Chains A and B, each alone.
Chain A
Amino acid sequence: MATDDGRIDLDELELFDATQRLRLLHPARRRDGELAGYAFPRSVRESIAKIDLRRLEPPAGAKFEVFVKEPREDFSALGVTFQRRGATVEVHSTGVTNGAGRYGSRDPASSVPDPHVVSAIVARASA
């Protein structure tokens, strides 16, 4: 399975669902057409499974500014793929290793990007 395969996202959703069901004392087996507490038809599942970011065509003339906390091989690979297809990609390493924004966090301090990340984005947008 490739690292940017849509099945990775499905797998993460299924793990989230299994975790929630366990914590909230619901049966482990979920109904067809549901996932993570919402309707999730088979057509949506199949569409997501087919997503492969390496094969997606970026819009013509698209420009991507990617802000990451540290350089990673998969970020670079995605950038190279988009560049090959004619997009402009710039990857910015913010150096922030803690509190860069944790998706789904209920802790206000960690659910928003670190001020340094915001500053980097604003500076780039203003340039």
Chain B
Amino acid sequence: MIPVGFCSGVDTAHRLALADERVSGVCFIEGYVYRTRGFYVRYPLRLFEPARWRRAVARNIPQPLRGAPLVRRLGRIPLSAADDDIVYLREYPSPGQIRGDYASMIACGKRLFFVYVGKDSSYNHANQLLEFAGTPELQRHAEIEYYPRADHTFYLPDDRRRLVQRICVWVDRTFGSRRPAQPASDSRERDRE
């Protein structure tokens, strides 16, 4: 069984992976993310993204100027959306707990696949997860895919297509032999063969 969790769906996939021995692998899409030193070092690079400046300009065009020829296209875009003030709150595991949970999953022979995106997320470089929870075991038994140009909702069709294909590749490559989950020590032996 390979649960795939997306966003808050990761909460359930995570608990399932911990509790159910039938789970041989789990895919976490835009799941738990913790800001690291590397994240903050790269954070100012956002200033070089034209799309952020465009959005900032659009949100700050004074109402009387929204019909002006130069900004007419941007001025048509609503200043706020109906769901702007909706905040989704989730209970986040502590960093120590999440590291322990990943170690526990790996010790049970489960393979992990993490997908993160860029844009407005709290994840901004491919190795951020390893920077946060990196252990040799995690590097060996987990794959991480980072799509800096995708957004959290995978709005663009190409982004969704790429994501689905990548998950299929991971499943085929990791579970192609359809072996049931084995403890990490066993799978290490298998890797050496």
Residue of B nearest to A40 (CB): B157
Residue from the list A15, A18, A20, A39 in contact with B155, Cβ < 8 A: A20
Residue of B nearest to A27 (CB): B51
Q: Are B82 and A22 in contact (CB under 8 A)?
A: no
Q: Are B54 and A37 in contact (CB under 8 A)?
A: no
Residue of B nearest to A30 (CB): B156
Interface 0/1 of B69-100, CB less than 8 Å to A = 00001101110011100100000000000000
Please name all residues of chain B whose beta carbon is closer than 8 Å to the beta carbon of A21 when the two chains form the complex: 155
For residue A106, give the distance in angstroms from its CB to the closest CB of chain B. Answer: 5
Known: A24-B151, A39-B157. A105 touches B76 (CB 8 A): no
Q: How far is the CA of A27 from the CA of B49 in the complex (A)?
A: 11
Interface 0/1 of A29-50, CB less than 8 Å to B = 0010010011100000000000
Q: How far is the CA of A25 from the CA of B54 in the complex (A)?
A: 9
Q: How far is the CA of A48 from the CA of B81 in the complex (A)?
A: 26
User: Does B58 make an interface contact (CB < 8 A)?
Assistant: yes
Q: How far is the CA of A75 from the CA of B49 in the complex (A)?
A: 46
Residue of B nearest to A37 (CB): B155
Residue from the list A18, A26, A105 in contact with B156, Cβ < 8 A: A26
User: Does B119 make an interface contact (CB < 8 A)?
Assistant: yes
Q: How far is the CA of A102 from the CA of B77 in the complex (A)?
A: 19
Q: How far is the CA of A104 from the CA of B82 in the complex (A)?
A: 9
Count of A interface residues, CB-CB < 8 Å: 22
Please name all residues of chain A whose beta carbon is closer than 8 Å to the beta carbon of B179 when the two chains form the complex: none
Q: Are B54 and A22 in contact (CB under 8 A)?
A: yes
User: Does B165 make an interface contact (CB < 8 A)?
Assistant: no
Residue of B nearest to A21 (CB): B155
**24 pairs of residues in contact across A and B, judged by CB atoms under 8 Å:** A19-B81, A22-B77, A23-B55, A23-B81, A24-B119, A24-B120, A24-B152, A24-B155, A25-B51, A25-B52, A25-B120, A25-B151, A26-B51, A27-B51, A28-B54, A34-B157, A37-B155, A37-B157, A38-B157, A106-B82, A106-B86, A107-B82, A107-B83, A107-B86
- Closest 8 A/B residue pairs (Cβ): A24-B151, A25-B51, A37-B155, A25-B119, A106-B83, A19-B77, A22-B55, A24-B155
* Given A24-B119, A26-B156, A107-B83; 10 other pairs, CB 8 A cutoff: A15-B77, A18-B77, A24-B152, A24-B153, A25-B151, A31-B158, A105-B83, A106-B82, A107-B82, A107-B86
- Tell me the A residues contacting B by CB distance below 8 Å: 15, 18-28, 31, 34, 37-39, 102, 104-107
